[in-house]
Amino acid sequence: MDKREACYRQLADGLSAVASKHGLRLMHTPDNPISLAVSLAGLTLNGRSDALTKLGARLFTQGCSGVRVIIPAEIEAAEGRAPTCVGGISLPGFNSHSAASTEAYLNAAAAIGQTPEEIDLFLGRLDKVLSEFTRRIPQEKNNSL
**71-111 pLDDT tens trace:** 888 887 778 888 888 999 988 877 776 777 788 899 999 88
The total domain count for the chain is 1
* Contacts (Cβ under 8 Å, ≥6 apart) of 28: none
Is 142 within a domain? Answer: no
Find the angle CA(78)-CA(26)-CA(137) to the nearest 5 degrees: 55
Averaged pLDDT for residues 59-68: 90
Is 86 within a domain? Answer: yes
Question: Residue 133 belongs to a domain with what CATH number?
Answer: 3.90.1150.10
**pTM attached to this predicted model:** 0.82
Is 108 within a domain? Answer: yes
Is 77 within a domain? Answer: yes
**Within a 10 A sphere around the Cβ of 100, how many other Cβ atoms?**
10
Q: How far is CA 136 from the centre of its chain?
A: 17
Is 144 within a domain? Answer: no
Is 41 within a domain? Answer: yes
Is 145 within a domain? Answer: no
Residues of the domain holding 97: 3-137
